[in-house]
Amino acid sequence: MVNTARIVAEKYPGFRPVFIGPCIVKKLESSEDYPELNIIVITYIELLTIFQEFNIKELEKNINDHFDIEEKGMPRIYSIDGGLSHSGGLTAKIVSYFTNYLEVLKNFEADPKIKLLDILNCDGGCIGGPGIKSSLSKKEKEKVILKFWQENDR
């Protein structure tokens, strides 16, 4: 989010970067850690509320529409357990959900095999974030992301 916001500021001066995702912690990160980037953070649930408020039921599809900044490849799997580590070619101890933090942090220094902790706040990674409304299970969401990545990025 932060690096994309920096790219937006450089490429499109005068525009505000918008992050849309399942994470409510991004709201704190943007306002407390990077207020100078002026990032608008909206969860998927908030976006749905905006669509309902403006009576937007279906978005018009235009074949000329595209993302201005699009990064293909492994960064697309960041939202699942281990996505960040795997996209960097690293094998990491992956900690999903805050209930596991204390035990893992206590053992981190004592275990020389652990070189990186990929600590995620939500169960399953970002796909388990509170700002998403989905009837899919964690495994089903993961399958959708992996399928999209495999079909579009290789």
pLDDT tens-digit series, residues 71-126: 677 777 888 887 877 777 776 566 665 666 777 777 777 877 777 777 778 888 88
Per-residue pLDDT, 4: 87
What pLDDT is attached to residue 32? 94
The contacts of residue 97 (CB under 8 Å, 6+ apart) are 120, 121, 122, 123, 128
Task: Return d(Cα 132, Cα 126) in angstroms, integer.
Answer: 9
Q: What is the mean pLDDT of the chain?
A: 83
Cβ count within 10 A of residue 76: 19
Give CA–CA dist 85/83, Å, rounded: 6
pTM: 0.75
136 C-beta neighbours (distance < 10 Å), count? 12
Looking at residue 18, its pLDDT comes to: 94
Contact 83, 125 (CB under 8 A): yes
Q: What is the pLDDT at residue 140?
A: 95
β strands within 18-80, DSSP E: 18-21, 40-43
- Average pLDDT (19-35) is 93
The least confident of 22-36, 50-64, 69-83 is 69-83
Average pLDDT of the residues in 40-48:
95
Q: Is 113 exposed, middle or buried (0-12, 13-18, 19+ CB in 10 A)?
A: exposed
